[in-house]
């Protein structure tokens, strides 16, 4: 019994000594704390079963029916072209349109 009490005192004192880093992890990483909790799978399974039995009504409505393409303000008949670049390096210094005879990058 004394051994358990001594181990408990050592465990609590070490926990108190390293409280600051642990408390930051507990506050910011809630998902990590949930993975360490042994009851989490039971709670998640129960929530899933209860949620799966409820019927969800989804209504589909058309969006943007009032949108239309107007004539261009400059009177140009050229087709409109949109270049969409997705990513972190979408800067003029890191982006090119290929190596052709015409320098297209000056219009970017």
For the entire predicted model, the pTM comes to 0.29
> What does the pLDDT look like over 49-74, one tens digit per residue?
887 767 777 788 888 888 777 777 77
Confidence of residue 7 (pLDDT cuts 50, 70, 90): very high
CA-angle at 108, arms to 80 and 97, nearest 5°: 85
**Considering only 9-18, 43-52, 68-77, which range has the smallest mean pLDDT?**
68-77
pLDDT at 13 over 60: yes
- pLDDT, residue 87, reads 64
Secondary structure E strands in the chain = none
Give the integer Cα–Cα distance in Å for 54 and 71: 49
Whole-number Cα distances in Å, 26 to 29, 32, 42, 55, 56: 6, 8, 21, 35, 34
pLDDT at 95 over 70: no
């Amino acid at each position: 019994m004394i051994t358990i009490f001594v181990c408990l005192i050592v465990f609590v004192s070490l926990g108190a000594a390293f409280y600051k880093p642990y408390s930051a992890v507990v506050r910011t990483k809630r998902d990590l704390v949930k993975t360490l909790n042994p009851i989490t799978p039971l709670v998640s399974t129960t929530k899933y079963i209860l949620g799966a039995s409820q019927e969800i009504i989804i209504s589909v409505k058309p969006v943007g029916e009032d949108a239309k393409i107007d004539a261009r303000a400059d009177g140009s008949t050229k087709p409109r072209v949109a270049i969409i670049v997705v990513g972190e390096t979408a800067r003029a210094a890191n982006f090119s349109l290929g190596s052709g005879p015409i320098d297209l990058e000056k219009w970017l």
